């Protein structure tokens, strides 16, 4: 088996295995997908100590608004929307998701 480096893949695979064990030999694909996505969502959050401090934009949880996009600049985490230094130190982070693929005739 290849080495898995993304914690979301590891927990999603474990959630699928656990769901298969609970449901028996013919688990519902919908249940497997839900279990895997729920586990992956939780595992996507990483300790802030592992966040890049090279100006890369990341997502952090923020009280009262849910989450915000920030990046590290010299002395702290700054909100990308207004450039202000965050008052509260974030505890976790996750990479931004990839942008949607653009193109096609309906856009």
The alpha helices in the chain, defined as continuous H runs, are 7-23, 29-43
pTM score: 0.65
Nearest alpha carbon to residue 63 among 85, 83, 90: 90
Is 90 within 8 Å of 81 (Cβ atoms)?
Answer: no
In the beta sheet, which residues pair with residue 70? Answer: 58, 79
Q: 88: closest CA among 64, 69, 62?
A: 62
| Site of tokens 């309906």 | 106
65 within 8 A of 73, measured Cβ to Cβ? no
> What are the pLDDT tens digits along the chain (107 aa)?
344 456 777 777 777 777 777 766 666 666 777 778 888 888 889 999 999 999 999 999 998 888 999 999 988 999 998 999 998 899 999 999 888 888 755 55
Beta bridge pairs of residue 85: 78
């Amino acid at each position: 088996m290849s080495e898995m480096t993304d914690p979301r893949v590891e927990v999603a695979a474990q959630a699928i295995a656990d769901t298969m064990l609970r449901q028996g030999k013919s688990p519902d694909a919908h249940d497997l997908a839900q279990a895997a996505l729920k586990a992956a969502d939780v595992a996507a959050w990483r300790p802030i100590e592992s966040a890049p401090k090279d100006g890369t934009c990341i997502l952090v949880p923020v009280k009262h608004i849910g989450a915000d996009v920030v990046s590290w600049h010299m002395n702290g985490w700054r909100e990308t929307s207004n450039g202000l230094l965050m008052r509260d130190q974030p505890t976790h982070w996750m990479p931004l998701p990839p942008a949607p693929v653009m193109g096609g005739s309906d856009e």
